[in-house]
Structure 1
Amino acid sequence: MTPSGRIQAAADLLAAVAEEARRPADAIANDFFRARRYIGGGDRRAVSELAWGAIRQKLRLDWHLARLGVQPSARLLLIAHLVLVERWTPQKLAGHYTGDRFAPAALDRAEIELVRRLAAARLLDEAMPEGIRLNLPDWALPGLKERFGDRLAEETAAMEGAAPLDLRANLLRTSRDEARQALAAEGIAAQPTPLSPWGLRVEDRKPVSATDAFRGGLVEVQDEGSQLIALLADARPGMRVADYCAGAAGKTLAMAAAMGNRGHIVACDVSAPRLEGAGKRLRRAGVDNAERHLLQPGDKWRKRRGRSFDRVLVDAPCTGSGTWRRNPDARMRTGAQDLAELSAKQAEILEDASELVRPGGRLVYATCSLLPEEDEMQVARFLERHADFVVCPVPGLWAGLRPEVDAPDPAPMLALSPARHGTDGFFVAVMERRP
């Protein structure tokens, strides 16, 4: 594709995302490129980077367009991105907006004037409201202020960067060093992650899924923070473990490997398609101590198995605010109403899952959210209702699991963040049912 053709394709992708505002942008992009197989791998990456760059800065770009009295559109959003973020000159922009075959339509008079005024501006403007300046939606600002305090600007800046590609070595098939060597033999350089004993970090966005190491189940794609949740669950050989919101079973896989395929683990979810995908991953990884269970209304499975599990992991559905650097469109797809509904759902799931924990067993509550309403406050409300549960401070657990590495944080409950830890934003609390 020509550079102009890439710009037009990026505008088309942005338009597709805008048409389905409640659907994740990465799913829309998959459909978009599947329908345009003539776009090669290099062009796909270039188009995606343009579109995702505009989505990442959409709150600020919309503010600039609104200030100039312009109704935002996919075309104008991309123009604003090229001028304000990429710092294209009006002359360079006009050289690509030519109306030639595959190129965007030529700029009209109003657009030429808009470009002129945007070129005189800067992306960050003193007149911006605090949330826009920090690139945060208003509904999330109070919670993130409470979380980070005077580190808020540093953390929000980290959320705007690209996330690294983290892998987890599958100890059922290999060691971390052997997995690293296998990747290197296929031209992919990876370094051990600093916190997870299983993790490998690939700095460049390489096609890992096309490697023999991936297809052979030696590695799985999993953010280091997600790996630490599985680590702190401390699932051991011979235990009975439930992954209550398993999804595609990323943490099920990690815990099964920690258990050495000994004991029993149940991956539960309310979505049959997600569990079907989990089955494929379990087979590739060589996991044979796991079963899948579809949770349904009126299901008596939980009641029949009450107080019988050593570990119950609840990776609860949440706003995903900790993954905004990976999913920048989620800032706009989620709102205050979603937060309220998800908080209620999290409390319900915690209640249900806690019934499975045996006396002396542990309930591990985790989210990929940075908002206290979904994290510490949720745990506090649960503990108020359940005097038979007590928090196990993470630093003490960490000392038994990773004595050679300092704990990521001294707090009793662990909150990981992009700026401090280099991971996605994750929260985890470990609670034990009193014997």
Structure 2
Amino acid sequence: MTPAARIAATVALLTEVEAAPRRPADATANAFFRERRYIGSGDRRAVAERAWGVLRQRLRLEWHLARRGLPPTPRLLLMAYLLLVERWTREEVLQAFPGGRFNADPPDPGELATIAALDGAPLQPPAMPEGPRLNLPDWALPGFRSRFGEELPEAAAAMDGSAPLDLRANLLRGTREQAAAALAAEGITAEPMAFSPWGLRVPDRRPILASRAFTEGLIEIQDEGSQLIALLTGARPGMRVADYCAGAAGKTLAVAAMMGNRGRIVACDVSATRLEGAAKRLRRAGVDNAERHLLTAGDRWVKRRAGQFDCVLVDAPCTGSGTWRRNPDARTRTDLRDFEELITKQRAILDSVSGLVRPGGKLVYATCSVLPEEDGVQVRNFLSEHPEYEAVPLAEAWTAAFAPAAPPVPPPGSGQWMELAPHQHGTDGFFAAVLRRKA
């Protein structure tokens, strides 16, 4: 593709993302490229990276356009991105929109005026308010400020970056060392993680899905923070475990490996599509101690299995604010109303599943959020309403997860529960609290 054709494809991709505001951008992008198989891998990567750059900087770009009374159209957003982020000149932007077959149409008068106004302008001028300056939506600012305090600028800057490629060695197929060796044989360098005993980090983005290590189930793609949530379940062979909000079963896979395929784990979710995707992943990983359960309205599954589980993992639906460097479109896909509805849903889920845990068993509540209202506040409210539960301090839960051996490294934090953030731990932002039902 010519440079101008790549620009046209980027506008087309951003247009499709805009047309499906409630759909994750990566799902839209996957469908976009499936329908355009004629786009080569190098061009596909260039188009996707630039589109993701626009989505990552969208709050700032929108502010620049809004102060000029302009709508955030895909074309204007891309033009602003080229000028403000990639630091193109006015002439270079005009050359990228030449019109003609396979190219984007030339700028109209309004776009020409915008290009001229933004040429050479700073991305973050002094007049920019705190929200767009930190690249955080206004509704989330109070929560970020409460969580990070003086570290807020550093935490926000880390959310601005791109996420690493994290892998988990599947212990049902081999050790972490064997997984690293298999990747190295395919020219992929992977380094052990700081905290996860199964984790490998690939310094650069590589086509892992096509590797033999992946297709043969030796590795799974999973952020280190997500791996640590599975670790805190302390799952052991022979236990009965429920992964209540399993999704596509990323944590189910990790917990099943901890159990050595002995015992029983139930992956529950409200989405039949996600559970079908989970079935494929479970087969590839060699998991045979898992079953799936579709949660439906009026479902009596929870009541019928009261007190039957040694551990229940609730990876609750949340804003995903801890994953915004990985899913930058979620910054603008989620709003205050969503946030409030999610808090209500989290509370209802915790109330519902509390009866599943046997006396002496554990309930692990987790989110991929850094907002206190979804995390510590939610847990404190639950404990105040459920005196039959008590919090297990992170240090104790961490030690128990590695028992009978001693933990190879200290836990990631010293508080009551695990609170991860990119600038502190190099992971996505995750929260996990281990709660024990009193015997």
Interval of TM-score (by shorter of Structure 1 and Structure 2): over 0.9
More displaced 10-residue stretch of structure 1: 116-125 or 372-381 = 116-125
Q: For residues 278-313 of structure 1, give each alpha carbon's deviation from its aligned partner in whole angstroms, at most 9, with x where no partner exists.
A: 111111111111111111222222212111110000
Q: For residues 390-422 of structure 1, give each alpha carbon's deviation from its aligned partner in whole angstroms, at most 9, with x where no partner exists.
A: 000011222342622121110111110111011
Amino acid in structure 2 at the alignment position of 1:230: A
**What residue in structure 1 maps to residue 206 of structure 2?**
206
More displaced 10-residue stretch of structure 1: 65-74 or 350-359 = 65-74
More displaced 10-residue stretch of structure 1: 177-186 or 34-43 = 34-43
Q: CA RMSD in A?
A: 1.1
Q: For residues 127-173 of structure 1, give each alpha carbon's deviation from its aligned partner in whole angstroms, at most 9, with x where no partner exists.
A: 11111111111100000100000111111111111101111000011
CA distance in 1 between counterparts of 2:41 and 2:85 reads 24
**What residue in structure 2 maps to residue 416 of structure 1?**
420
**What residue in structure 1 maps to residue 432 of structure 2?**
428
- Secondary structure, aligned partner of 2:307: coil
Q: For residues 64-97 of structure 1, give each alpha carbon's deviation from its aligned partner in whole angstroms, at most 9, with x where no partner exists.
A: 1122232221111100000000000112222222
**What residue in structure 2 maps to residue 117 of structure 1?**
117
- Secondary structure, aligned partner of 2:310: strand
Amino acid in structure 2 at the alignment position of 1:172: L
- Secondary structure, aligned partner of 2:359: strand
2:242–2:313 contact (8 Å) kept in structure 1: yes
* TM, length-normalised to structure 2: 0.97
CA distance in 2 between counterparts of 1:355 and 1:209 reads 39
Q: In the TM superposition, what is the alpha-carbon distance from 1:30 to its structure 2 partner?
A: 1.3
**What residue in structure 2 maps to residue 126 of structure 1?**
126
More displaced 10-residue stretch of structure 1: 381-390 or 403-412 = 403-412
Q: For residues 77-125 of structure 1, give each alpha carbon's deviation from its aligned partner in whole angstroms, at most 9, with x where no partner exists.
A: 1000000000001122222222243222223444333222202310011
**What residue in structure 1 maps to residue 349 of structure 2?**
349
**What residue in structure 1 maps to residue 380 of structure 2?**
380
**What residue in structure 1 maps to residue 146 of structure 2?**
146
Amino acid in structure 1 at the alignment position of 2:162: A
1:298 aligned onto 2:298? yes
Amino acid in structure 1 at the alignment position of 2:242: A
CA distance in 2 between counterparts of 1:20 and 1:262 reads 42
CA distance in 2 between counterparts of 1:25 and 1:135 reads 18
Q: In the TM superposition, what is the alpha-carbon distance from 1:331 to its structure 2 partner?
A: 0.6
**What residue in structure 2 maps to residue 225 of structure 1?**
225
Q: 1:2-401 counterparts in 2 under 5 A?
A: 2-400=2-400, 401=402
2:188–2:206 contact (8 Å) kept in structure 1: yes
2:397–2:434 contact (8 Å) kept in structure 1: no
More displaced 10-residue stretch of structure 1: 283-292 or 107-116 = 107-116
Q: In the TM superposition, what is the alpha-carbon distance from 1:384 to its structure 2 partner?
A: 0.8
- Secondary structure, aligned partner of 1:155: helix
- Secondary structure, aligned partner of 2:293: strand
CA distance in 2 between counterparts of 1:250 and 1:72 reads 35
Any unmatched runs of 5+ in structure 2?
A: none
2:392–2:416 contact (8 Å) kept in structure 1: yes
Amino acid in structure 2 at the alignment position of 1:106: P
* TM, length-normalised to structure 1: 0.98
CA distance in 2 between counterparts of 1:113 and 1:212 reads 52
Q: For residues 339-396 of structure 1, give each alpha carbon's deviation from its aligned partner in whole angstroms, at most 9, with x where no partner exists.
A: 1111111111111111100000000000001110100011011101110100000112
Q: For residues 307-348 of structure 1, give each alpha carbon's deviation from its aligned partner in whole angstroms, at most 9, with x where no partner exists.
A: 111000000000111110111111111011111111111111
CA distance in 1 between counterparts of 2:110 and 2:348 reads 53
2:84–2:120 contact (8 Å) kept in structure 1: no
- Secondary structure, aligned partner of 2:242: strand
- Secondary structure, aligned partner of 2:248: coil
CA distance in 2 between counterparts of 1:348 and 1:39 reads 46
CA distance in 2 between counterparts of 1:399 and 1:361 reads 16
CA distance in 1 between counterparts of 2:66 and 2:339 reads 27
CA distance in 1 between counterparts of 2:129 and 2:86 reads 23
- Secondary structure, aligned partner of 2:241: strand
CA distance in 2 between counterparts of 1:110 and 1:357 reads 61
CA distance in 1 between counterparts of 2:421 and 2:133 reads 20
Q: Residues 391 and 108 from structure 1, CA distance in 2 versus in 1: closer, same or farther, beyond 3 angstroms?
A: same
1:406 aligned onto 2:435? no
- Secondary structure, aligned partner of 1:293: strand
2:169–2:200 contact (8 Å) kept in structure 1: yes
Of all paired residues, the percent bearing the same amino acid is 63
Q: In the TM superposition, what is the alpha-carbon distance from 1:24 to its structure 2 partner?
A: 1.2
- Aligned residue pairs, count: 435
2:392–2:434 contact (8 Å) kept in structure 1: yes
CA distance in 2 between counterparts of 1:101 and 1:426 reads 46
- Secondary structure, aligned partner of 2:260: coil
